[in-house]
Amino acid sequence: MACWDFSGKTAILAGGATLIGRATAEAFVAAGASVVIADIDEDGGRAAVAALGERALFVPTDVTDDAAIDACIAQAVETFGGIDYLVNVTTSYIDNGLDTTRADWLRALDIALVGGAMFVQKVAPHLIARKGAIVNFSSISGHCAQAGRFVYPAAKAAVAQLTRSQALEFAPRGVRVNSVTPGWTWSNVMSALSGDDRAKADRVGGAFHMAGRIGDAAEVARGVLFLCSDQASFIMGAELPVDGGYGALGPEQGGNAIADLMG
C-alpha cells in the first residue's frame, strides 16, 4: 500500500476476523495505520492480531449488543488515542429464501444492517473530531435477483441506501461515508460453500465476471483504503464496485449459482 500513508490513523474493522476483514486490516497496517478488529470470532481475531503485530488490537464484539460496541470504541480510544475510520464488514448469511422465518429475518438484519448502523451512531463523535471516513459493505447481491435468496440481497440493498443517507448526514461534519460493492470474492462463505476449493469457485463464479474469476480479498481491501484516503476526498454516498465487471455484465440469468458452487 505504498501509494497511501495512514500513519497515525486508526481504523475499527467490524467483522475484521473474516478473510476480507483480515485483508483490509493487513492493508491498513502496511500503510502505517493501527487497526482494531471487532468480531465475535475470538480465535480468528486473536490469530489476526498475532500476525499483524503491535499496531493491531482485537476486541471481542457482538454488533447486536450496544454495550459491546461501546466497549470496543472505548478500548480503541484508550489504546490508540482516537478513531479515524470505521469499516463495517460484518454481515449475515442467514437466508432460506421464501422459507426464512420471522426470527431469522430479524436476526439477520440485526447483524447485517442494524449492527453497522449502531456502530456508526456510537463512533460518530470520534470520527467527526478527526474528520474521518466510514466504509460500509454492500454487495452485487443488492442489485439483482438471485435464486433462493431473499434476506442477504435485501440487507445489502438496505446497506447501500443507508450509506447514501449517512453520507448526507455526515458530509457537513467533515466525515465521508461510502460503500464498497464486491462481486463474488474469496471469503469465509465462498470457502465454506466450495469446500475450500478456490479453483472451483473461480470456475463457477468466473462466468458472471468479466475478469473470468472471482475476486481476492486484497482487491476489495484496496477499494476500502482508497475510499478512506484523501484521494477520495470528493466521493460521498457512493458505491465503489469491486466486482470484476459483474454489475456491467449482467445478472445470473435465472440460474442458481450458489447451488452450482455447492454441487
Report the relative pairing of strands 133-137 and 10-14 from DSSP bridges: unpaired
- With both helix axes pointing from N to C terminus, report the angle between 115-129 and 151-170 in degrees, rounded to the nearest 10: 20
Angle at 65 between CA 59 and CA 70, to 5 degrees: 55
Residue found by looking up cell 480503541 in the block: 76
- Give the amino acid at 133: A
Active-site positions?
A: 152
Q: Using a CB cutoff of 8 Å and minimum separation of 24, what contacts does 225-228 make?
A: 225/1, 225/4, 225/6, 225/24, 225/27, 225/28, 225/31, 226/4, 227/133, 227/135, 227/176, 227/178, 227/180, 228/6, 228/11, 228/84, 228/85, 228/87, 228/132, 228/133, 228/135
| Residue 163 grid cell | 450509506
